[in-house]
Structure 1
């Protein structure tokens, strides 16, 4: 990010007006001057920013995506566009929300943190979910020990060191433009998966990057931001170890989900994700895809299919009715609502772990 001095003149009136128009003003001062206004694109970025800011004075955090709405399909209002333009920092993730990508490129390219470049996104899922999961030898996965590295070291392919902490100058934000605006073109195996926060290690790396950008903008609170990020990272390390331990010995590793949001979680903890629909929620499953998943669930004797509390379980219920499997909730944590199985990211992740232990037959 190109640094600029902290804008001490950002008016509270503007932040308050913007918060009333579809965004949520999720933290910051009340009745005092807003010295630093941060716009986050959706809930996981909001939560990480809140944890990093902590009790630092004069910081306002606004979130663009409304709870319960599909974050991928966000359309920005004129006032939200103005908020992006006026923010001291915009925290977003490229290819997660096309409308936000466009707004940042046009109005805040030099005042943004792209979590996608920090989290080192990889490909998960199928370009065309209707093609089905052919070509994956799922049966070879069942019943094996997934966690030779159960001491907490990342699995092969997960280099979660701090090499990204200072490398997010964001010139890479458009490096995938030749793949298509939605990131779906030019991939033989699948689109880049934006759901990095479901891997606590990647999420920790992003939170540390947020702290560094805030520290550069607000040097007076730099020590606070870095200390808060370290505390949050420690909590995420504990969460990661809980998952490692709880999922180390499971009878089944095929993870059937309503959409392929759980690739990082599956990869991190030795599971194999099979999505009824693709990376982006809201897609329709073709009859061919439904039939293919139904056959695979029956052939592998998969005991559970996971639906999302925010999307309903219609697709999962159809397959479950034909195969006799159980439907459990696995939440991608794109937002927190009254239907979420927890009040924040950490609570929902632990609720997800409970579902996974039950559904995968873990000891």
Structure 2
């Protein structure tokens, strides 16, 4: 079934949240972090989508380091001593709490002044045993009331645009000398998010089916945004193993709902997806959760890969 979630707040509230993260201090001249003398804001991003935001918003005024190497599965990241030192010397760290446990631990221990949790810049949803038709087998940020928070907010262009607004506000506060440039870069990025959202709305408005199968439950926010239903083989963790009953249920559902395709991703094994596809006579294709860019990615940056995801969904769902 489709789960309709509460609409998120506007950009103004996001900016206020960002400014509430704590006092942000600009780096300058020889006082730049890590002994830098170029005067740039030194930003550490925990994985690719946040690197993309930092680079697009920061432009020439930031140095951005990504803790997750290309091709590395970000959920399994282990931080090296060198990366810990790099984080310690940074002006700001940009991460999503409860996505990468090793990063969470390192951020808590680091003395970096500006800790920007992207999860606090938009509304994330708590998932119970079933959300949007998929099983949330692995809990991220499970609270005492039960349920888990889905961190895959970057796959919803509207929510991720709100995260971007918060990041821009944080950069402007941290480096007021270049605040006009950060605002200008954010305006350009905002326009691209609006265009991307429009492409998805128009491209998925009329489809033969609304249900798609993925290897892990990364696309719940995207499915909700565009009136689709995600059926995931695994839960929020791509390494979690589905039960035999879950696989049988997916096979039956695929026949009943006219599903044509089982989607897999580039950074984890496609074995289970191909098994289900083979047993049910379905196709396989890539739906990229954009946790990293590699030479296998269908695009060189966030926007290009998202457009490729749209094309894959249109084909699989029988878009008119």
Q: Per the shorter chain, which TM-score range?
A: 0.7 to 0.9
Task: For 1:256 and 1:191, locate their aligned partners in 2 and report how far apart those are by CA, in whole Å.
Answer: 21
Are 1:76 and 2:96 an aligned pair? no
Report if aligned partners of 2:27, 2:33 keep a CA contact under 8 Å in 1: no
Task: Work out which of the residue numbers 90, 94, 106 in structure 2 matches 1:91.
Answer: 94
Report if aligned partners of 1:126, 1:278 keep a CA contact under 8 Å in 2: no
- For residues 112 and 44 of structure 1, do their structure 2 counterparts lie closer, same or farther at Cα, with a shift above 3 Å needed? same
- For residues 48 and 76 of structure 1, do their structure 2 counterparts lie closer, same or farther at Cα, with a shift above 3 Å needed? same
Q: Indicate the residue corresponding to 1:23 in structure 2.
A: none
Task: For 1:350 and 1:272, locate their aligned partners in 2 and report how far apart those are by CA, in whole Å.
Answer: 19
Task: Work out which of the residue numbers 181, 184, 193 in structure 1 matches 2:142.
Answer: 184
Report the TM-score, using the length of structure 2 for normalisation. Answer: 0.86
Report if aligned partners of 1:12, 1:33 keep a CA contact under 8 Å in 2: no
Report the secondary structure of 1:295's partner residue.
helix
- For residues 184 and 5 of structure 1, do their structure 2 counterparts lie closer, same or farther at Cα, with a shift above 3 Å needed? closer
Report if aligned partners of 2:89, 2:112 keep a CA contact under 8 Å in 1: no
Are 1:239 and 2:239 an aligned pair? no
Report if aligned partners of 1:84, 1:90 keep a CA contact under 8 Å in 2: yes
Task: For 1:108 and 1:120, locate their aligned partners in 2 and report how far apart those are by CA, in whole Å.
Answer: 27
Spell out, residue by residue over 1:203-241, the C-alpha distance to the aligned partner (whole angstroms, 9 max, x if none): 111111111111111111001001101110110100000
Following superposition, the deviation at residue 281 of structure 1 comes to 1.3
What are the residue-to-residue correspondences of 1:1-363 with 2, within 5 Å?
1-8=21-28, 9-10=30-31, 33-56=38-61, 59-108=62-111, 110-124=113-127, 126=129, 182-186=140-144, 188=146, 190-363=147-320
- For residues 14 and 99 of structure 1, do their structure 2 counterparts lie closer, same or farther at Cα, with a shift above 3 Å needed? farther
Following superposition, the deviation at residue 181 of structure 1 comes to 9.1
CA RMSD in angstroms, aligned pairs only = 2.3
- For residues 273 and 292 of structure 1, do their structure 2 counterparts lie closer, same or farther at Cα, with a shift above 3 Å needed? same
- For residues 110 and 95 of structure 1, do their structure 2 counterparts lie closer, same or farther at Cα, with a shift above 3 Å needed? same
- For residues 60 and 34 of structure 1, do their structure 2 counterparts lie closer, same or farther at Cα, with a shift above 3 Å needed? farther
Report the TM-score, using the length of structure 1 for normalisation. Answer: 0.76
Report the secondary structure of 2:262's partner residue.
strand
Report if aligned partners of 1:208, 1:230 keep a CA contact under 8 Å in 2: no
Q: Indicate the residue corresponding to 1:170 in structure 2.
A: none
- For residues 349 and 103 of structure 1, do their structure 2 counterparts lie closer, same or farther at Cα, with a shift above 3 Å needed? same
Task: For 2:26 and 2:134, locate their aligned partners in 1 and report how far apart those are by CA, in whole Å.
Answer: 50
Following superposition, the deviation at residue 312 of structure 1 comes to 3.7
- For residues 109 and 86 of structure 1, do their structure 2 counterparts lie closer, same or farther at Cα, with a shift above 3 Å needed? closer
Following superposition, the deviation at residue 43 of structure 1 comes to 0.3
- For residues 305 and 119 of structure 1, do their structure 2 counterparts lie closer, same or farther at Cα, with a shift above 3 Å needed? same
Report if aligned partners of 2:92, 2:115 keep a CA contact under 8 Å in 1: yes
Report if aligned partners of 1:127, 1:191 keep a CA contact under 8 Å in 2: no
User: Which sections of structure 1, spanning at least 5 residues, go unmatched?
Assistant: 16-31, 135-179
Spell out, residue by residue over 1:86-115, the C-alpha distance to the aligned partner (whole angstroms, 9 max, x if none): 211111010011111111122247411110
Spell out, residue by residue over 1:45-80, the C-alpha distance to the aligned partner (whole angstroms, 9 max, x if none): 000110001233xx2111101111110111111121
Spell out, residue by residue over 1:11-70, the C-alpha distance to the aligned partner (whole angstroms, 9 max, x if none): 68767xxxxxxxxxxxxxxxx6243211111000000110001233xx211110111111
Following superposition, the deviation at residue 5 of structure 1 comes to 2.8
Report if aligned partners of 1:191, 1:279 keep a CA contact under 8 Å in 2: no
- For residues 12 and 5 of structure 1, do their structure 2 counterparts lie closer, same or farther at Cα, with a shift above 3 Å needed? closer
Following superposition, the deviation at residue 301 of structure 1 comes to 2.6
Q: Report how many aligned residue pairs link the two structures.
A: 296
Q: Indicate the residue corresponding to 1:168 in structure 2.
A: none
